Chain A
């Protein structure tokens, strides 16, 4: 297992533990993500990878250990937490666009209400972001009128509008039809190339190979391997990872 220096880490998880009743979903997790790094978290379902991702902006509370973003430990509920969350972009499996707001409003709501940006400026920036993810012409529509792939790209734009320090992706393509997966992955790869710090939970091995700086393999609530994509895919060290990969590659 490669160890990384926590000193310059943007996202730092130290000894994180969490239970769901009897189930120990996160076991002593230590993970450090440096600025500009793209970390892909993979593993069988139920391995705790989504919980890990959601814990980073405290959508899941943790019982032990600490999580810090850019040197600041995640606070309990309240103003400070809201402030820190604004710095952490999150993209969900089920998009979660605000159903009663237009595409443009979905993107401008955060900047206007949370950051106090003037509406005209927020609109201009939002349109630029929507163009960038290729859905600019959908701006006046409601989320339900868009395809899944388009909605997910809007969700990415919504998160980017807050100018986050790090982006979390919780299985961003798992709810998509196969032909829409690539349009979302392309946006993510572009984002990675531009130097965005990213933590991506995914089943897309192609994305992991192409865009990841590191692959973190989780099983049973533990980080089993932490390696470069090259290392992990060609020469996995643990039996769990070998088993997981062999199941993927047989088809």
Chain B
């Protein structure tokens, strides 16, 4: 166990990097995912088609492919980054956005159609109907699946470790290599620090869920 104590600063550094990757990718994915969901329910057929295609491709391919694409293919197409973190953030947010889009879409579908009709009948445009009436009510049903997706995002960020980004899992690998006789303890430590991030997310979920409950 002392390997964990000895390496606390490394764990801490890894935790912060993982947190950074997750928060930045999470915010981008939330925005992108919501836009994709909006496109999916919009009256414009081209937007619906694009959104469907995007979600189906990203959701049905492994995350490693998204990483490979962002870290290897994009630079060959002339999109280069100073740091691999940027590629990791692109891959993570692009991948997670597909799942968020589906969660938000199901939330939108859970709001009774009459709400949108009433909003349209007082002259609101599509954007207003969605942002003022539908999404605030969809939030309630969307929170639990959304938190699931964000928890998955925190864990998925470990894939970045395989692409030369040092985060919790990446540091874990380093430590395991340096302490070949205590791999088990090192990995248990890594798991513990992941739990430190993900468990509070779950608690947050139930708190928010209670706060946004809407009486019908």
Residues of A within 8 A of B (CB): 57, 59, 77, 79, 82-83, 85-90, 92, 94, 96-100, 109-110, 113-115, 142, 144-145, 155, 158-159, 161-162
Contact = CB atoms under 8 A, between A and B. Distances in A.
B115 to A, nearest CB: 6
- A-B pairs, top 3 by smallest CB distance, nearest first, are A86-B123, A110-B122, A96-B118
A113 B120 CA distance: 12
Given A92-B114, A109-B132, A159 B121 contact: yes
B123 A99 contact: no
A100 B137 CA distance: 7
Interface in B104-148: 112, 114-115, 117-125, 128, 132-133, 136-137
A122 to B, nearest CB: 12
Given A109-B132, A113-B128, A96 B123 contact: no
A110 B124 contact: yes
B114 A94 contact: yes
A90 B118 contact: yes
B215 A98 contact: no
B117 A82 contact: no
B124 A88 contact: no
Contacts of A90: 117-118, 121-122
22 contacts: A77-B43, A83-B123, A85-B120, A85-B123, A89-B122, A92-B118, A96-B112, A96-B114, A96-B115, A96-B117, A99-B215, A99-B216, A100-B136, A109-B132, A110-B122, A113-B128, A114-B122, A114-B124, A114-B128, A158-B122, A159-B121, A161-B122
Contacts of B121: 57, 59, 85, 88-90, 159
Given A96-B115, A99-B215, 9 more contacts: A82-B123, A83-B123, A96-B112, A98-B115, A98-B118, A99-B115, A114-B128, A115-B123, A145-B215
A85 B43 contact: no
B214 interface: yes
B122 A142 contact: no
Interface of B: 43, 112, 114-115, 117-125, 128, 132-133, 136-137, 214-216
B117 A109 contact: no
Nearest to A162: B122
- Which of B114, B118, B119, B214: most chain A Cβ within 10 A? B118
A66 B125 CA distance: 22
A92 B121 CA distance: 10
Contact of B123 (A77, A114, A142, A155): A114
Contact of A85 (B122, B137, B214, B216): B122
B120 to A, nearest CB: 6
A161 B122 CA distance: 9
Contacts of B216: 99, 144
A100 B119 CA distance: 13
A99 B212 CA distance: 12
Contacts of A115: 123
Contacts of A158: 118, 122
A113 B133 contact: no
Contacts of B214: 99-100
A86 B214 CA distance: 27
A67 to B, nearest CB: 15
Given A77-B43, A114-B128, A97 B123 contact: no
Contacts of B120: 59, 82, 85
Contacts of B119: 98
B118 A162 contact: no
A99 B133 CA distance: 9
Contacts of A113: 124, 128, 132
Nearest to A115: B123
A96 B125 CA distance: 17
B114 A86 contact: no
B125 A82 contact: yes
Contacts of A155: 118
Nearest to A110: B122
Nearest to B129: A82
A79 B125 contact: yes
